[in-house]
Chains A and B, each alone.
Chain A
Amino acid sequence: MKTNRAVRTPGGLSVRLDVRALTVVVLLLVTALTASVVLIGTGDFPIPAADVLRTLVGEGDAGQEFIVTELRLPRVLVGLLVGASLGLGGALFQSISRNPLGSPDVLGLGQGATAGALTMIVLFSGTANQVTLGALVGGLVTGFAIYALAWKRGVHGYRLVLVGIGVSAIVTAVNGYLLTKSDIVDAARAVVWMTGSLDGRDWDQVWPLLALCAVLVPLVLANSRELRMMEMGDDVSYALGVRVERVRLLLMLSAVLLTASATAAAGPVGFVALTAPQLARRLTRSPGPNLTPAMVMGATLLVTADWVSQRAFGADQLPVGVVTGVLGGGYLLWLLVTERRAGRI
């Protein structure tokens, strides 16, 4: 309550603002954009930040312009969009399942997308676009399978998580089988894909992701008040006039689409979907799904991790998925230890 402010107009409109959450979002955005500019300047051919900015507004020299707008900008944009999609998708899943572990990583969406990608790589030696398509289909199919299997008079938290873990185990086994069947070249390609990487991403990946986010983000945010009500249980939210099943189906569908397309674009980048909502929540100290902070946190996390992976180990030596995995895994352990102390698990 304390940090909530209501802005009202004489016409009877009123908007509720959580000042702390707003501050967090602004600071995270600044961080993400700063990291993006630094990241664009990083590489075999370093460019000072001032030149990067000049080039971005169209006043750089031709050589820098090619490097910035054709090579590095799309990669950074894919990073931002993938991070935002994973953060938002994770926040949706965690809120719907009322469980921090109910995120797409744990539920097997990443593994599902991997299965789709591996099928394309191993069985069909597919092109990059076909692999992307395979990953998208794999993620979507897994998402729907989980929803269908967990359905029993509405999807409930633990059921969703347990079904997700079961599905995840099966798909992981399938992935292992596909890997053992592959020859060494395909296997290497598959393993790189499976770690999650932003290497060589260009405008072809940016546009579809941007279009999807442009549709889904407003749709999801327009339903965030309903999602907030649903945290109090189906009965209470239903009694308050929320159409629980409809909202949940819509938001689950959006979350699956966001996660699957992000995974298709960058591979199963580990733990962003799990950690971004939790980190955002601890920063805003606000109950509720924290959708916007989680989304911005995801983007910040991914771009920062990409920068770390390039700086710490030389250009493109370490796929970004490794860094987010290490950061996210460490964070998960910390979360489990503190939650255990709080007596919740």
Chain B
Amino acid sequence: MSTDTTAGRGPDHRRSTVNRLSAENVTLAYDQRVIAEQLSVEIPDNSFTVIVGPNACGKSTLLRALSRMLRPSEGRVLLDGQVIQSMPAKKVARTLGLLPQSSIAPDGITVGDLVGRGRYPHQGLLRQWSAEDERVVQESMAHTGVAELAERYVDELSGGQRQRVWIAMALAQQTPLLLLDEPTTYLDIQHQIDVLDLCADLHEEQGRTLVAVLHDLNHAARYATHLIALRAGKVIAQGAPNDIVTADLVEEVFGLRCQVIDDPETGTPLIVPAARRARAAAGDRGTARKVGAAEAS
């Protein structure tokens, strides 16, 4: 992003080649339980990065570390070249937004009021509600299609509408980087697509860098420009979905035999799990055992 490239330095040292958000050799743990060790991840600027992996692989934990919710016990997370924990809280909040999995709408709050709270990092004791705040809130609601709901109570909305409202709140924060932890969980299929379309718009039209954790591999392959596949706290593969998603990768990451075909709509990889019988007959004892264990439990 910076233009102050010093003359005399080689092109390899240009700062614009350094991505704004990255994790360097981080060890992530909750108390004594280690989730990931020596994990390094770069979030390419202007990408729609999606992190995928089986349950408990550390994908949400990684997102929490990238958004400074979790302090790495070793290594560091860098935002614009600075260790994220060392930066002023509000400054980070103007650069990097996070939509967590669990958020609580206060009792009796209206949509407009909730979205307005996203302006907090831009405000102060003497600058509580500027004309700019007002404009950004209106824009964020218009963009997520909740402008007509502005006077409604958040409690009365459907799950899909509510998720749009929370995204609008994160948008009002006006951060170039936006992290979303499983934004489609608990939504039915048309609302899942709805939210993902919205994310794609934010990425394509507004040029924001998006990082999302998603459960659905096919959604990830369709919407991501950059995919990070995690297993047991390690990056197994990363890159454009078309380049990295193969049957072997899916088996390695998820332990699932499958075919990967071209999505007839978009040409992106589409994962079709192998039929149960085919998986059992394949003679791959590792997979068969896993399937057996899954069925037994």
Contact = CB atoms under 8 A, between A and B. Distances in A.
Nearest to A226: B120
A286 B106 CA distance: 10
Interface stretch (B11-19, B85-93, B237-245, B264-272): B85-93
Contacts, number: 100
Contact of A12 (B97, B100, B130): B130
Contacts of A6: 128-130, 134
B189 interface: no
A188 interface: no
A149 B58 CA distance: 30
Interface residues on A, range: 20 to 34
Interface stretch (A190-198, A228-236, A299-307, A308-316): A228-236
A61 to B, nearest CB: 47
B151 interface: yes
A240 B171 CA distance: 11
B10 interface: no
A166 interface: no
Contacts of B102: 233, 235
Interface string A32-70: 000000000000000000000000000000000000000
Interface string B97-137: 11111111111111011101110110101111111011000
Interface string A1-33: 110101010001111100000000000000000
A228 B129 CA distance: 15
Contact of A1 (B92, B94, B108, B112): B112
B97 A229 contact: no
Contacts of A330: none
Nearest to A157: B104
Interface residues of B, number: 45
Given A1-B151, A229-B120, A240-B93, A14 B127 contact: yes
Contacts of A13: 126-127
Contacts of A1: 110, 112-113, 116, 150-151
B173 interface: yes
Interface of B: 67-69, 89-94, 97-110, 112-114, 116-118, 120-121, 123, 125-131, 133-134, 150-151, 170, 173
6 contacts: A98-B104, A228-B117, A232-B114, A241-B93, A286-B108, A287-B109
Interface of A: 1-2, 4, 6, 8, 12-16, 98, 222, 225, 228-229, 231-233, 235-236, 238-243, 285-288
